[in-house]
């Protein structure tokens, strides 16, 4: 909407708190793709991701209306933390302790990471295959490891921010990344997959 052009997400959130419902519509349209991609990456089930996405926004609206949001300059970070908590609540309710079974139709093709592919088609094809292999292997990681890899490499968050978002210590988030990388290397070795991108 032209009315909100140039406004930050944080300013929109505060406008909504002040009673402007259209500001929230704009905020939703700006953040929904990134937030849904994050949720889908962690839970790996479209219907569940839809439910969690909706619950996240219901909780965000409630918190906004109760004045529990202060402009910290990181609205997306704030709402991602709410999504993380909703996901963890869902897992606790299922008593699965973060164990996720992969679905046949799930992959990470909906993620839009920065591409460093060359203009040469041969190099491009090699790199595309490497990225496909990495995404397949990431699907096999336990949820906490997938989550930290996603936050670090796709959202480019610091380990301090990851620790805050996931309510764990920095050491725990670093440990999850370490185990994720060890698991990825092990899987690459087992399946004789070359992980180096061609430059």
Helix (H) or strand (E) holding 185: helix 170-190
CA 127/CA 40 separation, integer angstroms: 24
**Closest Cα partner for 100 from 55, 44, 147?**
44
The predicted model gives 137-152 an average pLDDT of 87
pLDDT at residue 95, as a whole number: 61
* pLDDT band per the 50, 70, 90 thresholds, residue 130: low
Query: Count of alpha carbons within 13 Å of 168, Cβ hemisphere only?
Result: 17
Nearest 5°: CA angle at 66, between 64 and 72? Answer: 45
Residue 158 has pLDDT above 90, yes or no: no
pLDDT at residue 126, as a whole number: 57
Contact 8, 31 (CB under 8 A): no
- Of 134-148, 150-164, 180-194, give the lowest mean pLDDT range: 180-194
pTM tops 0.85, yes or no:
no
Residue 43 has pLDDT above 60, yes or no: yes
Between 30 and 192, whose confidence is greater?
Answer: 30
pLDDT at residue 98, as a whole number: 46
């Amino acid at each position: 909407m032209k009315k909100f052009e140039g406004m930050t997400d944080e300013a929109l959130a505060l406008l909504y708190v002040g009673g402007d419902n259209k500001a929230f519509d704009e905020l939703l349209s700006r953040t929904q793709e990134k937030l849904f991609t994050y949720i889908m990456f962690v839970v790996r089930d479209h219907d569940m991701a839809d439910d969690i996405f909706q619950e996240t926004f219901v909780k965000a609206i409630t918190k906004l209306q109760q004045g529990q949001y202060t402009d910290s300059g990181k609205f997306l970070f704030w709402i991602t933390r709410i999504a993380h908590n909703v996901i963890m609540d869902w897992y606790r309710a299922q008593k699965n302790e973060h164990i996720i079974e992969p679905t046949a139709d799930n992959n990470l093709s909906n993620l839009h990471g920065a591409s460093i592919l060359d203009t040469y088609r041969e190099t491009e094809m090699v790199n595309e295959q490497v990225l496909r292999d990495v995404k397949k292997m990431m699907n096999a990681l336990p949820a906490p490891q997938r989550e930290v890899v996603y936050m670090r490499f796709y959202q480019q968050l610091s380990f301090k921010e990851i620790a805050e978002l996931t309510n764990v210590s920095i050491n725990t988030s670093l440990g999850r990344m370490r185990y994720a990388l060890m698991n990825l290397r092990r899987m690459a070795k087992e399946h004789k997959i070359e992980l180096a991108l061609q430059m």
